[in-house]
């Protein structure tokens, strides 16, 4: 930790001394690196962390630049706008507000798109906004706007490159700090969970559409800020720097630097800017004619990188300084007052009731008129051969994939129309047959996602790190659940490094962190060794004794029979038997369909 800290301080000192010792040329270069890094930082959040690819960030840079250019230079502004032209800082506010509006609109239109439709969408609006800049009369068309005033900060004139340098880098470092704070928070975990697909995050109560909008908005606002600085540094704007090809370059910076790391934005912006400068000097000499040859080199680099170093340069650099985030965490198992829990259940309360649930996939009826109920303090096992429809029932009950027809009541409320987030809030928590976790995050962080709904502090307090007390409690809760399921020694390991059986146990801890009254476990014992299975059965017995209801899908018949209070047997989507374990065990239909065949 000390070493990294020293390096950071050294870096900041160098940044501070830069303009005092460097020639003008390098100061200018560093100014541009700073401007680009602010945009790339937004892309780290959006693309690297959130997994949403945008080629259109340059358009938001343009919005920031053109807003201030127009407002601070127009000779006759409409009356209601006139006050905003009085100072570049007011123009910045207008630019940010305008960008926010455009981003929210574009976000609403494009963020729903999945797969490659999203990047295509960003290309579409990237091009449209660029052409708008070039074709609007009052923005000066392709010639642009000149005569943009310099800035003043607290009465100090910011006119020359060296003065701008401090403003740009101060803003960049603040943005880095804010972004890092955000990522290290409840909201940040929700954002990082996006990469694991929305299904798990939603089941843990994360509003994924909102998280996506948040990062889209922040990335757009960073871009706008960069554009505003750019306009006042250059003192003129035209549409060229806001086109699609620059949008691609921004993305390349983020990806090259290491798209999942905040410092990667700086590294990427630095490497690309310096390399571009260098290639623009060198390549025309080699080819003997002028042209944008560097584009070709960048293209080749991109392909090489995608093959050789997908995670970008930052992780490679960070490895040289051995002091991983895990080590920092390791020194402190989080402790804090426990979070409030849901009131204790009444004994034998009816928790879940499924009535005539039908689920069709096209022509296939995966679940046909399934009915059963689970009470508090009870383990109900749902068994049946592969493909019987057990996981399908889980998905219907937990709101992941709604039933075609039928009724489902949870604690007396009809829930068949609710989404998985709303159902999670009511106190149902689940694991997945195919483990869904974030492999590069620590076990602790993964489990903390489960506690999402037990926190309430939002994005603003996360950005400013005003939610430390709550965050500590969420982490402490996660740590308690990890200890409870017996994964304490793995608390700070990467979740992906655990054997599959332990990943399943991790999912149980994550589900428990939500403080559920009903636990849905889809094949939790698969991949566990004998002793681990025993430990799991003990854990489930303890949970049952506390009054929790447990719905369990499991293949291991001995495991099920030794644990379950009642058993429901499914085959081909239908219930073929129900009763006490020993009754079911002797049921001829069950022996025929399942136990006899498999065991
Ligand atoms: P189980 O969990 O009992 O092994 P599933 O519920 O996973 O069984 O599957 C039941 C049946 O529904 C299977 O025939 C499976 O192929 C089908 N099925 C499950 N999910 C889907 C889906 N999303 N689309 C189409 N068919 C599905
Ligand atoms: Mg299944």
Distance of CA 227 to the CA centre of its chain: 26
Arithmetic mean of pLDDT, 388-416: 93
The answer as to whether 261 is a domain residue is no
The answer as to whether 506 is a domain residue is no
Is the minimum distance from the CB of 447 to ligand 1 under 6 angstroms?
A: no
The answer as to whether 13 is a domain residue is no
Q: Three-state SS for 365? A: strand
State yes or no: pLDDT of 555 exceeds 50: yes
Of all atoms in ligand 1, which is nearest to the CA of residue 392? 6
392 lies in the same domain as 530: yes
Among 500, 530, 546, identify where a domain stops: 500
Taking a C-beta distance cutoff of 8 angstroms, is the pair 540, 563 a contact? yes
Q: Which residues contact residue 228 at a Cβ distance below 8 angstroms, ignoring those fewer than 6 apart?
A: 64, 65, 67, 68, 88, 91, 92, 95
Query: Which of 161-170, 331-340, 531-540 has the weakest average pLDDT?
Result: 331-340
Query: Which of 36-45, 147-156, 468-477, 502-511 has the weakest average pLDDT?
Result: 147-156
Is the minimum distance from the CB of 367 to ligand 1 under 6 angstroms?
A: no
70 lies in the same domain as 32: yes
pTM for the structure as a whole: 0.91
What distance in angstroms lies between residue 307's CA and the mean position of ligand 2's atoms?
Answer: 35
Mean pLDDT of the chain: 90
100: its two tokens: 């926010």
In 3D, which of 425, 428, 427, 447 has the Cα closest to residue 438?
A: 447
129 lies in the same domain as 230: yes
The answer as to whether 345 is a domain residue is no
Calpha distance 86→68 (Å, rounded) = 10
388 DSSP assignment: S
378 lies in the same domain as 496: no
Nearest C-alpha to atom 5 of ligand 1 is from which residue? 389
State yes or no: pLDDT of 487 exceeds 60: yes
Calpha distance 143→244 (Å, rounded) = 18
CA distances from 214 to 42, 46, 129, 219 (A): 11, 9, 21, 9
80 lies in the same domain as 138: yes
In 3D, which of 432, 416, 420 has the Cα closest to residue 356?
A: 416
State yes or no: pLDDT of 528 exceeds 70: yes
For 565-590, the pLDDT digits (tens) are 999 999 899 999 899 998 888 888 88
- Pairing between β-strand 549-553 and β-strand 566-571 as defined by DSSP bridges: unpaired
Query: Which of 139-148, 229-238, 331-340, 437-446 has the weakest average pLDDT?
Result: 331-340
301: its two tokens: 């680099």
CATH of residue 411: 3.40.50.300
372: its two tokens: 């059963």
What distance in angstroms lies between residue 542's CA and the mean position of ligand 2's atoms?
Answer: 25
Is the minimum distance from the CB of 363 to ligand 1 under 6 angstroms?
A: no
Residue 86's pLDDT is 79
User: What percent of the residues of the chain are helix, what percent strand, and what percent coil, each to the nearest 5?
Assistant: 60, 10, 30
What distance in angstroms lies between residue 387's CA and the mean position of ligand 1's atoms?
Answer: 6
Taking a C-beta distance cutoff of 8 angstroms, is the pair 386, 403 a contact? no
Residue 326's pLDDT is 46
For 501-521, the pLDDT digits (tens) are 899 999 999 999 999 999 999
Q: Which domain holds residue 216?
A: 27-247
The answer as to whether 306 is a domain residue is no
State yes or no: pLDDT of 598 exceeds 50: no
Residue 95's pLDDT is 95
Calpha distance 255→453 (Å, rounded) = 32
Nearest C-alpha to atom 18 of ligand 1 is from which residue? 366
196 lies in the same domain as 225: yes
Q: Which residues contact residue 430 at a Cβ distance below 8 angstroms, ignoring those fewer than 6 apart?
A: 203, 394, 398, 511, 519, 520, 521, 522
In 3D, which of 218, 217, 237, 219 has the Cα closest to residue 91?
A: 237
For 332-374, the pLDDT digits (tens) are 788 888 888 887 777 788 999 999 999 999 989 999 999 999 9
For 448-477, the pLDDT digits (tens) are 999 999 999 999 999 999 999 999 999 999
**For ion ligand 2, residues whose CB falls within 5 Å:** 390-391, 433
Arithmetic mean of pLDDT, 484-504: 93
Alpha-carbon Rg for the chain, nearest whole angstrom, is 28
CA angle centred on 591, ends 585 and 597, rounded to 5°: 125
Phi, psi at 59, each rounded to 5°: -65, -35
Among 213, 247, 281, identify where a domain stops: 247
What distance in angstroms lies between residue 565's CA and the mean position of ligand 1's atoms?
Answer: 26
Among 222, 247, 272, identify where a domain stops: 247
563 lies in the same domain as 463: no
Query: Which of 224-233, 275-284, 541-550, 569-578 has the weakest average pLDDT?
Result: 275-284
Q: How many CB atoms lie within 10 A of CB 469?
A: 10
Calpha distance 14→165 (Å, rounded) = 13
Calpha distance 448→572 (Å, rounded) = 37
99 lies in the same domain as 235: yes
For 254-283, the pLDDT digits (tens) are 998 987 889 999 999 999 999 988 888 888
Calpha distance 499→326 (Å, rounded) = 19
The answer as to whether 445 is a domain residue is yes
Taking a C-beta distance cutoff of 8 angstroms, is the pair 245, 292 a contact? no
Q: How many domains does the chain contain in total? A: 3
Note the ligand closest to the C-alpha atom of 569.
1
Report percent pLDDT > 90 for the chain. Answer: 63
450 lies in the same domain as 569: no
The answer as to whether 370 is a domain residue is yes
51 lies in the same domain as 188: yes
Calpha distance 498→484 (Å, rounded) = 17
Calpha distance 249→36 (Å, rounded) = 9
Calpha distance 297→458 (Å, rounded) = 43
Nearest C-alpha to atom 6 of ligand 1 is from which residue? 389
Taking a C-beta distance cutoff of 8 angstroms, is the pair 566, 378 a contact? yes
Helix (H) or strand (E) holding 579: strand 574-579
Taking a C-beta distance cutoff of 8 angstroms, is the pair 449, 201 a contact? yes
256: its two tokens: 């090259």
63 lies in the same domain as 172: yes
CA distances from 342 to 165, 346, 375, 428 (A): 53, 12, 17, 12
The answer as to whether 173 is a domain residue is yes
Arithmetic mean of pLDDT, 74-101: 87
State yes or no: pLDDT of 58 exceeds 90: yes
What distance in angstroms lies between residue 357's CA and the mean position of ligand 1's atoms?
Answer: 15
- Pairing between β-strand 405-410 and β-strand 350-361 as defined by DSSP bridges: antiparallel
In 3D, which of 290, 249, 313 has the Cα closest to residue 35?
A: 249
53 lies in the same domain as 170: yes
Query: Which of 178-182, 233-237, 328-332, 494-498 has the weakest average pLDDT?
Result: 328-332
Residue 194's pLDDT is 92
Is the minimum distance from the CB of 523 to ligand 1 under 6 angstroms?
A: no
């Amino acid at each position: 930790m000390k070493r990294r800290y020293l390096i950071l301080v050294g870096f900041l000192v160098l940044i501070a001394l830069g303009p005092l010792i460097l020639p003008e040329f390098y100061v200018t270069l560093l100014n541009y690196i700073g401007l680009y890094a602010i945009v790339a930082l937004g892309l780290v959040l959006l693309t690297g962390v959130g997994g949403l690819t945008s080629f259109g960030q340059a358009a938001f840079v343009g919005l920031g630049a053109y807003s201030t250019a127009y407002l601070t230079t127009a000779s006759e502004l409409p009356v209601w706008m006139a006050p905003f032209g009085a100072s570049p800082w007011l123009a910045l506010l207008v630019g940010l507000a305008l960008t926010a509006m455009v981003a929210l609109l574009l976000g609403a239109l494009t963020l729903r798109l999945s797969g490659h439709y999203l990047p295509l969408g960003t290309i579409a609006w990237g091009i449209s906004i660029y052409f708008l800049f070039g074709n609007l009369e009052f923005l000066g068309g392709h010639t642009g706007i000149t005569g943009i005033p310099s800035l003043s900060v607290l009465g100090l004139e910011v006119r020359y490159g060296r003065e701008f340098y401090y403003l740009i880098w101060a803003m960049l470092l603040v943005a880095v700090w804010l972004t890092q704070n955000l990522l290290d928070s409840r909201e940040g975990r929700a954002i990082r969970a996006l990469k694991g697909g929305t299904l798990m995050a939603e089941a843990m109560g994360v509003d994924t559409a909102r998280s996506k909008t948040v990062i889209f908005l922040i990335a757009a606002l960073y871009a706008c800020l960069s554009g505003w600085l750019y306009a006042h540094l250059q003192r003129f704007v035209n549409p060229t720097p806001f086109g699609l090809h620059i949008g691609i370059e921004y993305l390349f910076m983020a990806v090259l630097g290491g798209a999942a790391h905040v410092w990667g934005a700086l590294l990427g912006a630095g490497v690309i800017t310096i390399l571009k400068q260098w290639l623009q000097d060198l390549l025309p000499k080699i080819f003997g004619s002028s042209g944008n040859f560097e584009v070709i080199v960048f293209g080749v680099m991109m392909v090489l990188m995608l093959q050789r170093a997908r995670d970008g340069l930052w992780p490679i650099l960070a490895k040289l300084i051995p002091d991983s985030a895990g080590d920092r965490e390791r020194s402190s198992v989080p402790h804090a007052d426990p979070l409030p829990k849901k009131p204790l259940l009444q004994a034998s309360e009816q928790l879940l009731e499924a009535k005539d649930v039908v689920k069709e996939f096209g022509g296939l009826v995966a679940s046909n008129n399934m009915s059963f109920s689970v009470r508090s303090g009870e383990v109900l096992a749902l068994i049946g051969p592969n493909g019987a429809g057990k996981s399908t029932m889980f998905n219907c009950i937990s709101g992941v994939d709604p039933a075609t027809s039928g009724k489902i009541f949870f604690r007396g409320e009809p829930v068949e129309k609710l989404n998985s987030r709303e159902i999670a809030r009511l106190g149902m928590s689940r694991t997945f047959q195919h483990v869904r976790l974030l492999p590069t995050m620590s076990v602790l962080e993964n489990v903390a996602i489960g506690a999402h709904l037990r926190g309430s502090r939002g994005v603003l307090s996360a950005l400013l790190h005003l939610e430390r007390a709550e965050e500590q409690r969420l982490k402490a809760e996660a740590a308690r659940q990890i200890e409870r399921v017996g994964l304490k020694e793995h608390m700070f390991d990467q979740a992906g490094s655990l054997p599959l059986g332990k990943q399943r146990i991790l999912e149980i801890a994550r589900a428990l962190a939500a403080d559920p009254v009903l636990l849905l476990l889809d094949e939790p014992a698969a991949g566990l060794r004998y002793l681990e299975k025993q430990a799991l059965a003990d854990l489930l017995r303890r949970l049952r004794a506390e009054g929790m209801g447990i719905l369990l899908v499991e293949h291991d018949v001995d495991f099920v029979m030794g644990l379950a209070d009642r058993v429901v047997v499914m085959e081909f989507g239908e219930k073929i038997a129900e009763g006490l374990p020993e009754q079911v065990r002797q049921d001829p239909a069950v022996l025929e369909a399942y136990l006899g065949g498999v065991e």
